[in-house]
Chain A
Amino acid sequence: MIKMLRVGYGMLVIVMCTFASNSQAANKNEIIVAQPVLRQQFDPTALVATTDFMPQDMIFDGLFNLTEDGITPALAVSWVVSEDGKQIDFTLRDGVKFHNGDPFTAEDVKFTLDRVRAPDSKHAYRKPFTDAIKDVVVLAPNKVRFVLSGPWPGYFTGVRNATVGILPHAYYEKVGPEGFQKAPIGTGPFKLAGIKSGEWSQFDANDDYWNGRPNVDSVKKLLVKEEFTRYAMLANNEADIVMGVSGPLLDKIRADKKARIIMSKYSGTSGFYFNKTSFPESQDPRVRLAFGHAIDLKTIATNILGDVCEPAASIFTPATFGHLPGLDIISYDPAKAKELLAEAGIKPGMELTDAIHSASFGSLPNAPAVQEAIAGYLEAVGFKIKRESYDTGAWLKMMRAGKQPQLFYGPSSLPDDGSATLESWFLTTSPWSSGNISVPEYDALFKEQLVEVDPEKRRAILQGFARDEHERHAGLPLFWCNTPFAVGPKIKDWSPSLGSGYQMNLDQVTLNQ
């Protein structure tokens, strides 16, 4: 046994000596981003989820960008929409090169859009493209035309549509989809320098970027699942940007003089919905309003969500195309809630089941604690609430099957264009509300805005929905949420994209010397 102990000590020493020194510490101009989600799907025409924007935003450019200042040109410098709205002619930026030196041309735009619309396309949000685009025609090396089957005004306001990264036609054809996934190239501010599946992705600055070389030499995005570890990495200067912090850790970061919080504003919105079959009493508007009065959203936003979210006056955030300013939030008034419930004939003690998605990212951080708080408020006005919490797979399965319980929470991340939220939740055919909201006026408004080519008229139509819904409360708006990023002392200035925590604009980061 003594021999074994000696062997044990010896082995430990050998391991210590042979474990190669390979420090992960960042160099001066490298930034490390610790994030709870890491996506390594690099082909923009095979987008699986909106989180795929996180790596694709680094490598690729779309034709234009959606920013706080509205639409700004990217690979397209200008565009003209025909009077009938059935043609869009783009003039493309000259002198842009892909990471391998190939010039960017109209052929690349056509190739990309054709791949998105192809019958075997794997692009998760291909439907709007296949429905709207009949053909993409190359007019000149720097001019391309979208021939549409009808007006598609939502193209210019929806991130999923507008920011599709443009592929290099010749290179993609040469290496094929698998080769491209291994070595993707685009026109974007960073080049992929290396990956370890499920661990990290490293990007190096593109020296020839058409919009100016990024200020940082490289960016390493690390998958760090555990929230406390992400916080500790920031506190120990092992990470410069940390994504996904909530609860007490937010307070600790705010109290830390070396760190600060930067928000990607209005990256999520959420609502509370009712199953009209299993909870028919909810079809009485007084009942829905009573739910609104019963829940103290402000207290939840402050105490549980760390002021990352704010009470919502509408399902459209202030950054959503179609937002109607000036709507008031339903006041917290439990006495009024009880009064309305009594008027509607609901007796205290009614049992209801409330379902929430436990891992909704961006649209409602700390969802389980929020569910608990909401259930507590509803119990205070007389309901008995059974809480059901679902992970992503179970949540999607339940929603797709239309088996929502009496009360269900509805998140919506990337709330960029009101029509997308309207289509997902408020139409008779909406996939997420499964027919529980059936308001003919909303269906008509949706169809009307689909063909309205004047952006201001279209905005007015969507604002009309927001106004109607504020009166009707088919769903109750809960919170407008931002995505908080904790940043360390190395970062001098940075503004992540409005309305999307996934498009991080890391090329615009400036560093303290």
Chain B
Amino acid sequence: MSSRFFFQRFVQTVLTLVLLSMVVFGLARLSGDPVLIMAPPEATDAQLDQMRAEYGLDRPLPVQYWRFISRVAQGDFGMSIKWNVPAIDIVIERFPATLLLATTSILFGILLALPVGILSAVKRDTWIDNFGKIVALAGQSMPTFWFGILLILIFAVYGKWLPTSGYGTFSHLILPSITLGGFVAAAIMRVTRSAMLDALESDYIRTARSRGVAEWRVIMVHALKNAAIPIVTIIGLQAATILRGAVVTETVFVWPGIGKIAVDAVYARDFPLVQAAVLTMGVVFLLVNLIVDFIYIYLDPRISYQKK
């Protein structure tokens, strides 16, 4: 990995962020005028105009965007319209909770999906494989909020084994992690199965078996390492799914993360908070992609980002 690679990826990341900021800025304003929600029913046009001026919403969009982006560069996303505190403070305060949920969810997803996916491929067309396929299909098909509600009903309301929602102890983490992790597990499981099937039919696997290598070693070392690139790719892509799913999961489980506050901000047309939340999530996603790029090189040194 050369310094040129780092530089290229850095420039790409910054450009992507600038584009993202434009999209977020534009979409937030497409949702409507926040002053219309904040003002009392009998507010006159003059009062509405006065409120717009207070929040800088009376200026032309390019001016608003320039003001926004130049402040963002200094870490200032403006004051949250609804909560009356700096928007970035709200996001920073919630970031650890979202990171924790995302981490445990992706870990849960990987730890569930890899063994089942590998087993499905090894035991192809047996009941184990069919069971794995059904689990994957169900996981992909069930809406996250519905799955979450189902888990609450079974494990909290009927079983009384776990809390319904909230934050603070390990038991609070279980249901949201399963909800979110279950969804990503399904996709990882499918790709693992298919990548492993390809790998297991390769010549080098036959060679390894003919050399008398133990079957577990053939599967877990020879096949799995060669099947790793599509698996790592899908895990990287699931980062976006996790961040998207967090919006719903955090709302259902009252998890104090960025997703929950972002939903509320969208409904309240709290532009500064929407922008801070989405851009933060965008940065996280780009970082995950960058890490995935590095892992590619580790897994297969033949991959190069340098021009030939």
Stretch binding the partner chain, chosen from A87-95, A133-141, A142-150, A196-204: A196-204
Q: Are A236 and B31 in contact (CB under 8 A)?
A: no
Q: Which residue of A lies closest to B85 (CB)?
A: A197
State the Cβ distance, A19 to closest chain B Cβ, in Å: 5
Q: Are A238 and B111 in contact (CB under 8 A)?
A: no
A224 to B250 alpha-carbon distance, docked (Å): 10
B281 sits at the interface (CB 8 A) = no
Other-chain contact of B269, A24, A181, A225, A393 (Cβ < 8 Å): A393
Q: Which residue of A lies closest to B226 (CB)?
A: A1
Q: Are A5 and B114 in contact (CB under 8 A)?
A: yes
A222 to B166 alpha-carbon distance, docked (Å): 10
A247 to B83 alpha-carbon distance, docked (Å): 30
Q: Are B36 and A48 in contact (CB under 8 A)?
A: no
A176 to B118 alpha-carbon distance, docked (Å): 64
Q: Are B36 and A400 in contact (CB under 8 A)?
A: yes
Q: Are B90 and A197 in contact (CB under 8 A)?
A: yes
State the Cβ distance, A242 to closest chain B Cβ, in Å: 12
State the Cβ distance, B233 to closest chain A Cβ, in Å: 14
- The B198-213 residues at the A interface (CB cut-off 8 A) are none
B22 sits at the interface (CB 8 A) = no
Contact mask A1-30 → B, CB, 8 Å, 1/0?
Answer: 110010011011001100111111000000
B42 sits at the interface (CB 8 A) = yes
Stretch binding the partner chain, chosen from B64-72, B132-140, B253-261: B253-261
State the Cβ distance, A10 to closest chain B Cβ, in Å: 10
Known contacts A1-B224, A124-B39, A397-B36; A229/B252 CB under 8 A:
yes
Enumerate chain B residues within 8 angstroms of A11, measured Cβ to Cβ. 103, 107
Contact mask B83-105 → A, CB, 8 Å, 1/0?
Answer: 11100001001000000100110
A161 sits at the interface (CB 8 A) = no
A464 to B264 alpha-carbon distance, docked (Å): 43
Q: Are A226 and B168 in contact (CB under 8 A)?
A: no
Enumerate chain A residues within 8 angstroms of B252, measured Cβ to Cβ. 226, 228-229
Q: Are B224 and A2 in contact (CB under 8 A)?
A: yes
Q: Which residue of A lies closest to B38 (CB)?
A: A48
State the Cβ distance, A447 to closest chain B Cβ, in Å: 17
Q: Which residue of B lies closest to A42 (CB)?
A: B84
B156 sits at the interface (CB 8 A) = yes
Other-chain contact of A236, B80, B157, B167 (Cβ < 8 Å): B157
Other-chain contact of B169, A19, A229, A392 (Cβ < 8 Å): A19
Enumerate chain A residues within 8 angstroms of B166, measured Cβ to Cβ. 24, 238
State the Cβ distance, B192 to closest chain A Cβ, in Å: 10
Q: Are A397 and B33 in contact (CB under 8 A)?
A: yes
A125 sits at the interface (CB 8 A) = yes
Enumerate chain A residues within 8 angstroms of B42, measured Cβ to Cβ. 127, 431
6 closest Cβ pairs, A-B complex: A124-B40, A22-B168, A232-B164, A197-B83, A1-B224, A393-B32
Given pairs A11-B103, A40-B83, 8 additional interface contacts (CB within 8 A): A9-B111, A22-B168, A226-B252, A229-B149, A232-B164, A236-B156, A236-B164, A397-B36
Residues of chain A at the chain B interface (Cβ within 8 Å): 1-2, 5, 8-9, 11-12, 15-16, 19-24, 40-41, 48-49, 124-125, 127, 181, 196-199, 222-226, 228-229, 232-233, 235-236, 238, 391-394, 396-397, 400, 424, 431-432
Q: List 20 A-B contacts (CB under 8 A).
A: A1-B220, A1-B221, A12-B107, A19-B173, A21-B169, A24-B166, A24-B167, A181-B84, A197-B85, A222-B254, A223-B264, A224-B254, A229-B149, A229-B252, A229-B254, A232-B156, A232-B165, A233-B165, A238-B166, A391-B267
